[in-house]
Amino acid sequence: MDCRNIQRLLPAYQDKELTGAQVREIEDHLLTCTACRDMKSAVSESWSNLGAWEDSEVPRRARESLMSCVSRQRKMLWIKIALPVAATLVIIFGLTIRYMGYRNEGRIQVPLASTDQMSTEHADVDEDELIADLHILQDEEFFDAVEELVSIDYLPLVEEPSQTETDEQRSSLPVIVT
């Protein structure tokens, strides 16, 4: 056996896992080869050091940090799965509503008036337009006045100085704090 093979077998030799013939061959080689002897000493030393190691408790902070890291990874995994699923469902839902909207829009064709007389009188009326704005048209004057009606609440405040102005007036004299 050459040095490479001997050195490869040294850990097994250390663990006494080799056959008698292999052991004898290695020991004969070690008597004459310094490099392999040094390697054998290094392996033996490592083995004895390993034996000296003791099991010790993982510090609490390190354990918590590791566990939170794992938990974060798990959450991310959930998000990675849930996000595309949610997005797909939302798209399907949105498209369904949109499609239903189109279908019904096509279906709503309201006669402007129940009598033919009305239809001829108001032939220039765009039915769809009128129906679309009916909520405003039926009370247009009121909706036109809403801003004005809301403004009535602000009238008493228009001529009153704001709180900040009042504070500024109050603090016009210098205050010396001792």
Give the one residue of 60, 78, 159, 174 binding other proteins; rule: CB under 8 A: 159
By CB under 8 A, tell whether 102 contacts other proteins. yes
Q: Please tell me the count of residues contacting other proteins according to CB under 8 A.
A: 59
Site for other proteins in 69-88 (CB under 8 A): 79-80, 83-84, 86-88
Q: Which of 46, 69, 90, 168 binds other proteins (CB under 8 A)?
A: 90
User: Binder to other proteins among 69, 118, 166, 167 (CB under 8 A)?
Assistant: 118
At 135, list the tokens: 């909520």
Q: What is the C-alpha radius of gyration for the chain, rounded to an integer number of angstroms?
A: 46
Shortest gap between Cβ of 127 and other proteins (angstroms)?
9
Q: Shortest Cβ distance from residue 78 to other proteins (Å)?
A: 12
Q: Which of 27, 28, 47, 93 binds other proteins (CB under 8 A)?
A: 93
Nearest alpha-carbon partner for 40 in 3, 2, 14: 14
Q: Are 105 and 131 in contact (CB under 8 A)?
A: no
Distance CA 39, CA 61 (A): 40
CA distance 105 to 128: 10
C-beta closer to other proteins: residue 3 or 86: 86
Helix or strand (DSSP H, E) at 77: helix 60-107
Q: Output the six-digit token pair for 163.
A: 């709180």
Contacts of 155 (CB under 8 A, 6+ apart): none
Residues 9-48 that bind other proteins (CB under 8 A): none
**DSSP state letter for 152:** G
Residue carrying the six token digits 């279908």: 103
Q: Which is nearer to other proteins, 58 or 158 (CB)?
A: 158
Q: Which residues bind other proteins (CB under 8 A)?
A: 79-80, 83-84, 86-88, 90-91, 93-98, 100-102, 104-105, 108, 110, 113, 115, 118, 122, 125, 129-138, 140, 142-160, 162-163
